[in-house]
Amino acid sequence: MPSVLEPSNVSLKVAAQALREGRAVAFPTETVYGLGALTLDPRGISEVYRLKWRPSNNPLIAHVLDGRAARALVDDWDPRCDELSSRLWPGPLTLVLRRRPGVPAEAVGGRDTIAVRSPSHPVARRLLEELGGAAISAPSANRSGHVSPTVARHVVEDFASERDLIVIDGGRSEFGLESTVLDLSGRRPVLLRPGTVTLESLRSILGEVDAPTITEQGASPGTAARHYAPRTPAARVPTSGVSAALAKEQRPCAVLCFDPAQVPAPHTAIGMPRDARLYASALYDALRSADTLGCARILVEMPPSSDGLWRAVVDRLTRATA
Ligand code: AMP
Ligand code: MG
DSSP state of 147: P
For residue 150, give the CATH number of its domain: 3.90.870.10
Whether residue 217 is contained in a domain is answered as no
**Would you mind telling me the total number of residues written for the chain in this entry?**
322
| Peptide bond just before 266 cis, omega within 30 deg | yes
Task: Give the whole-number percent of the chain exceeding pLDDT 90.
Answer: 93
Which residue's alpha carbon is nearest to atom 10 within ligand 1?
Answer: 222
Whether residue 102 is contained in a domain is answered as yes
- Are 196 and 62 in the same domain? yes
Strand partners, 140: 34
Whether residue 214 is contained in a domain is answered as no
Which residue's alpha carbon is nearest to atom 11 within ligand 1?
Answer: 222
Task: Give the whole-number percent of the chain exceeding pLDDT 70.
Answer: 96
Domain that holds residue 254: 234-320
Given a cut of 60, whether residue 38 has pLDDT beyond it is: yes
Residue 226: its pLDDT value, please?
66
Among all bound ligands, the one having the nearest atom to the CA of 35 is 1
193 lines ligand 1 (CB under 6 A): yes
- Are 104 and 149 in the same domain? yes
| Peptide bond just before 42 cis, omega within 30 deg | no
- Are 61 and 196 in the same domain? yes
Given a cut of 50, whether residue 219 has pLDDT beyond it is: no
Q: Tell me how crowded residue 224 is: count the other CB atoms within 10 A of its CB.
A: 16
Among all bound ligands, the one having the nearest atom to the CA of 180 is 1
273-294 average pLDDT score: 96
Instruction: Convert the pLDDT of each residue in 5-17 to its tens digit.
Output: 999 999 999 999 9
Q: Which amino acid is at 116?
A: V
Q: Which of 156, 188, 206 is the last residue of a domain?
A: 206
Which residue in 189, 191, 184, 180 sits closest to 217, CA to CA? 191
- Are 291 and 185 in the same domain? no
Report the C-alpha gap between 94 and 74 in whole angstroms: 13
Instruction: Convert the pLDDT of each residue in 71-108 to its tens digit.
Output: 999 999 999 999 999 999 999 999 999 999 999 999 99
Instruction: Convert the pLDDT of each residue in 256-278 to its tens digit.
Output: 999 999 999 999 999 999 999 99
Q: What is the mean pLDDT of the chain?
A: 95
- Are 16 and 121 in the same domain? yes
| Strand stretches in the chain, DSSP E | 3-5, 25-27, 34-38, 61-63, 93-98, 113-117, 136-137, 166-168, 180-183, 190-193, 234-237, 253-257, 268-271, 297-301
The secondary element (H helix, E strand) that includes residue 88 is helix 79-88
For every residue of 265-298, DSSP letters joined together read TTSEEEE--SSHHHHHHHHHHHHHHHHTTT-SEE
- Are 71 and 161 in the same domain? yes
What residues have CB less than 8 Å from 22, skipping those under 6 apart? Answer: 37, 38, 41, 43, 44, 47
Instruction: Convert the pLDDT of each residue in 115-154 to its tens digit.
Output: 999 999 999 999 999 999 999 999 999 999 899 999 999 9
The secondary element (H helix, E strand) that includes residue 313 is helix 309-320
Given ligand 1 and candidates 27, 29, 58, which is best to mutate, with the most ligand atoms within 8 Å of its CB? 58
- Are 188 and 147 in the same domain? yes
Residue 228: its pLDDT value, please?
75
Whether residue 129 is contained in a domain is answered as yes
For residue 246, give the CATH number of its domain: 3.40.50.11030
Whether residue 222 is contained in a domain is answered as no
Which residue in 289, 308, 309 sits closest to 300, CA to CA? 289
User: Of residues 168 and 56, which shows the higher confidence score?
Assistant: 168
Q: Looking at the 3D structure of the chain, how many domains does it have? A: 2
Given a cut of 60, whether residue 1 has pLDDT beyond it is: yes
Instruction: Convert the pLDDT of each residue in 168-188 to its tens digit.
Output: 999 999 999 999 999 999 999
The secondary element (H helix, E strand) that includes residue 67 is helix 67-71
For the sheet containing 25-27, what is the strand order? 3-5, 166-168, 25-27, 34-38, 136-137, 61-63, 113-117, 93-98, 180-183, 190-193
Whether residue 226 is contained in a domain is answered as no
Residue 215: its pLDDT value, please?
56
Burial of 273: CB neighbours in 10 Å, binned 0-12, 13-18, 19+: middle
Which residue in 288, 177, 298, 316 sits closest to 237, CA to CA? 298
Alpha helices, H only, 159-308 = 199-206, 242-247, 276-291
Whether residue 109 is contained in a domain is answered as yes
The secondary element (H helix, E strand) that includes residue 9 is helix 9-20
- Are 313 and 182 in the same domain? no
Burial of 144: CB neighbours in 10 Å, binned 0-12, 13-18, 19+: middle
- Are 42 and 138 in the same domain? yes
CB 7 within 8 A of CB 123: yes
Buried-state track 295-317, b at ≥16 Cβ within 10 A, e below 16: bebbbbbbbeeeebbbbbbbbbb
- Are 144 and 238 in the same domain? no
Banded model confidence at residue 229, pLDDT cuts 50, 70, 90: confident
- Are 107 and 58 in the same domain? yes
Model confidence, pTM: 0.95
Whether residue 220 is contained in a domain is answered as no
The DSSP bridge pattern shows strands 25-27 and 61-63 to be unpaired
Which residue's alpha carbon is nearest to atom 21 within ligand 1?
Answer: 220
- Are 172 and 296 in the same domain? no
> 295: CA distance to ligand 1 center in Å?
32
184 lines ligand 1 (CB under 6 A): no
